[in-house]
Structure 1
Amino acid sequence: MTGGHVILPGEIRTRAEIHAVFGGSPQRGIAPSIEKRSVVLFSDPEEAAVRGYRDGWLAEEDVQGPIYEYTGAGSNGDQTFVGARGSGNRAVLRHSQQGRMLHLFVRAGKVPGSGTKTHRYVGMFTLDDELPFVPRQGLDENGKKRTTIVFRLRPYGQFERSHTDVLTPARHTTAEFVPRAVTIDMLQSAAVTKGTFVAPDLRSADTSAMLAAAAKGKLVQVNKVHTPEFPRSASAATTVRQRRALLIESYVAYLESQGHTVGSFQIKIKGKTSTLRTDLFDATDHVLYEAQGASDRDSVRLALGRLLDYRRYVRQCDRQHAPDTVVLLPGRPDRDVEALLKDHETSLVYRTKGGGFEKSL
């Protein structure tokens, strides 16, 4: 901090005081600062309620600890990482590569006797390595359906976890069919963030087209997407995620070329604050897909486990039975793994060496 000023978690400050310490725009909900090496995030529960979402801590922790869900910028239409509208979201996504830390504030009230808003400092954060954000279906301020970008923040150092900031558990278990929109893996192949993503050349026409299409909720036709040369610095896990992204988009393009309606299911479970989202759902044939970027036994077991979990909730109003389940892979696994899928009444679709797809029952 400069000038001897420090703001500690739990302390309440005005926007002007926050700006003096962390910099950034004095008005925007996401305020990046090059000089202060920061990206300041402001969350306002009242404003969020009007716009149909809520930020907060997940009640469920994983092995890495707590997660705070923070909704990206953009009040109307699909949220994006592209162009001027997506500049704030881009700053969050790339904060680590740009040497900035995320600082989160929650609206607290007003200065007594004035209309000046105050904000409570929650602490310093970074994006989750494995799943930095998720696309989520919601409503904009005009009540129209749209896709929001929900960042998954991990606390870094000292932080305040107030019970008032914990998300409310779902009252009922629901599974909602939602259109394909901004996908995690699609953007993993075209964006940059800590650990998880590599940095392909964003000047590439193909990469830029994929990123722009993802932000608009559209798919790039398979014949316009070329498999990128993965940088040598890319980890094996990153390469697998990128292959998975391209596999999903290619297969979606194939299904849609056959006239199928393809989307996903957004699942909320009673008593839980987290939201599940499936990879693919073919509404035309009532089929649930889970994809992997590798065809080894562990990858297939992970996909199978997710399918068995999701299948319990996925239903269509015109279908009485659970959907068929399919594991989508970049190549054919060994025969024993195929037998495992067959034992669980799950089919296999894999990409052939010629670039097509083949189904194994």
Structure 2
Amino acid sequence: MTTPQIKPGDIRTRLQIRGAFGGSPQGGICPSDPKASVNLYSDPDVGEQLGYYDGWLAEEDELGAVFEYTGAGKSGHQTFEGTAGAGNRAILRHAEQGRVLRVFTKVGKVPGSDTKTHRYLGKFTLDALEPYVWRKVHGEDRVERNVIVFRLRADGEVQHDEKDMIPPARETDGEFVPFKPVTAVMFEDTPATSGNLPLPSQRTSSRGKRKKPAPNSETSGTFVVPEAFGTRLSVRAAAAATVAVRREAELTQAYKEMLERAGHRVGSYQMKVRGLTSTLRADLYDATDHVLYEAKGSNSREDIRMGLGQVLDYSRYVKMPEHQGDPTRVILLPAAPPPDMYSLLALYDVEVVFRSDDGTFAGNVVPGFQRLHSLE
């Protein structure tokens, strides 16, 4: 007997979905080796109660649209470790394990029963450049916790419907949050994200048109990615970008540890901007000295210009009750910038911190740096 085909937009029960794509009868993340699939179930009602939304971001980049899916774990901090992190690991390692991601969203129940129905959105893969981000949320009990938000790209035909969009923020606000590296596996010898995350095969919606960013009454501008990640992104460019992200994460981690050894309270800063569906997150924030950092994986002119724009953008939203005014803005680099870049950054009152050849960090805002050099 042939298994009925399920196409994007089709509504089915979980029993019917299991017949086509395998997986367990319950749970939100359901891997299936026989069907080479990891089935992701989203329930908008449950997500909202737990402080998050799954769905499409209105703000697209040059690779197209992103669908955000929150990892497993309804209470406490989410993890990739142990039994609690098994589902999240299945998503992170789907490509190297030869499985595709399939997304389903709850739409209702079979008439006259309690059997839930789910709409199939289609096949996805993790974003090759930024597979996931850490985010701080406030659940139904208002307890703060860290969750894993996976960034999914369409892998073929998908249903990209307005009703699956993440709602835009009603107000602009921000908060100091714990620092979490972009991905913990970036520091392993053979990270799961190295060379295994395919590029999305489709960069437009199923309607064949690029979606326009949502109107933003408070912040204008266009969200873009580096010039190297343009319309014809090559596998080589994607691999180089992944290496750059890994270097940036390692650099940020090393500088954070240095600040903490100096007794500073360090984390990140998370922002919601009115009218945007995206959640912004600055790389590093020093709450002791009120300093905002934007890290880059290289000291190239292109990266410095991008970092300049990001730190100027993010710094507008950093408000801490113990500090007055805007934070000091700094670009964190793995090596000294070209000499003429200092004058460009000085025009915008932006400092530079870079890692020296001996592994130490140099810059006017580095704790002890000014005192040390005044004695020379």
TM-score (norm 1): 0.85
Amino acid corresponding to residue 309 of structure 1 in structure 2: D
Could you tell me which residue of structure 1 aligns to residue 152 of structure 2?
Answer: 153
Alignment of 1:310-349 (within 5 A): 310-349=314-353
Deviation of the 1:196 alpha carbon: 7.4
Residue 238 of structure 1 deviates from its aligned partner by: 3.0
Please give the alpha-carbon distance, in whole angstroms, between the structure 1 residues aligned to 2:197 and 2:19: 32
8 Å CA contact retained: 1:266, 1:278: yes
Moved more, 115-124 or 311-320: 311-320
Alpha-carbon distance between aligned partners in 2 of 1:352 and 1:194, rounded to the nearest angstrom? 27
8 A Cα contact 1:138 1:148, kept in partner: yes
- Contact 2:266 2:287 (C-alpha < 8 Å) held by counterparts: yes
SS in 1 for 2:363: strand
Q: CA deviation at 1:96?
A: 1.2
Give the conservation status (yes or no) of the 8 Å contact 1:186–1:245: no
Partners of 2:12 and 2:118 within 8 A in 1: yes
Cα deviation per residue 1:193-250 (whole Å; 9 max; x = unaligned)?
374779xxxxxxxxxxxxxxxxxxxxxxxxxxxxxxxxxxx94333332222221111
Partner Cα separation in structure 2 for residue 20 and residue 350 of structure 1: 55
**Where in structure 1 are there 5+ consecutive unaligned residues?**
199-233
- 1:28 deviation in Å? 1.5
Residue number in structure 1 paired with 2:278 = 274
**Contact 1:186–1:246 at 8 Å: present in 2 too?**
no
CA distance in 2 between partners of 1:27 and 1:185 (Å)? 27
Answer whether contact 1:96 1:194 (CA < 8 A) is retained.
no
What is aligned with 1:37? Answer: 36
**1:185 to partner: Cα distance:** 4.7
Aligned to 1:342, the other structure's residue is in SS state helix
CA distance in 2, matches of 1:185, 1:120: 30
Mean Cα deviation higher: 37-46 or 346-355: 346-355
Secondary structure at the counterpart of residue 279 of structure 1? strand
| One of 355, 361, 375 as aligned partner of 1:357 | 361
| Residues 184 and 20 of structure 1: CA distance in aligned 2, closer, same or farther (over 3 Å) | same
Q: Which moved more, 1:331-340 or 1:237-246?
A: 237-246
Matches within 5 A, 1:29-178: 29-140=28-139, 142-178=141-177
For residue 346 of structure 1, report the CA deviation from its aligned partner.
Answer: 1.0
Bigger Cα displacement from structure 2, 26-35 vs 172-181 = 172-181
Letter aligned with residue 36 of structure 1: K
- The match for 1:10 is 9
Alpha-carbon deviations, 1:270-313, whole Å to 9, x = none?
A: 11111110000001000000111211211111111110111111
CA apart distance, 1:130 = 1.6
Paired AA for residue 44 in structure 2: P
In the alignment, what sits opposite 1:193?
Answer: 193
Q: Using the alignment, how far apart are the partners of 2:169 and 2:140 within structure 1?
A: 22
- Counterpart CA distance in 2 for 1:357 and 1:310 is 23
RMSD, aligned CA: 2.2
Identity %: 49
Tell me the number of residue pairs that the alignment of Structure 1 and Structure 2 aligns.
Answer: 326
1:283 equivalent in alignment to 2:287: yes
Query: Which ranges of structure 2 fall in alignment gaps of 5 or more residues?
Result: 199-237, 366-376
**Match for residue 22 of structure 1?**
21
The residue type paired with residue 336 of structure 1 is D
Q: Give the SS at the match of 1:240.
A: helix
Which stretch of structure 1 is more off in the superposition, 54-63 or 34-43? 54-63
- CA separation in 2, counterparts of 1:98 and 1:333? 40
Give me the whole-angstrom Cα distance separating, in 2, the residues matched to 1:344 and 1:250: 26
Paired residues of 1:76 and 1:141 also in contact (CA < 8 A): no
Q: Which ranges of 4 or more aligned residues in structure 1 deviate by more than 6 Å? A: none
* Contact 1:76 1:142 (C-alpha < 8 Å) held by counterparts: no
Check 1:4–1:17 CA distance in 2 against 1; reply closer, same or farther (3 A cut). Answer: closer
Give the distance between the partners of 1:103 and 1:194, measured in 2 at CA.
Answer: 22
Separation (CA, whole Å) in 1 of partners of 2:363 and 2:152: 39
| Counterpart-to-counterpart distance in 1, 2:197 and 2:119 | 31
How far residue 189 of structure 1 moved from its aligned partner, in angstroms, is: 3.3
Cα pair 2:55 2:69 within 8 Å, conserved? yes
Please identify, of 334-343 and 265-274, the stretch whose mean Cα deviation from structure 2 is larger.
334-343
Shift of 1:161: 2.2
Return the offset for 1:85. 0.9
CA–CA distance in 1 between the matches of 2:29 and 2:343?
50
What pairs up with 1:291-306 in 2 under 5 angstroms? 291-306=295-310
Contact 2:104 2:121 in 1 (8 A): yes
| Matches of 1:242 and 1:62, distance apart in 2 | 20
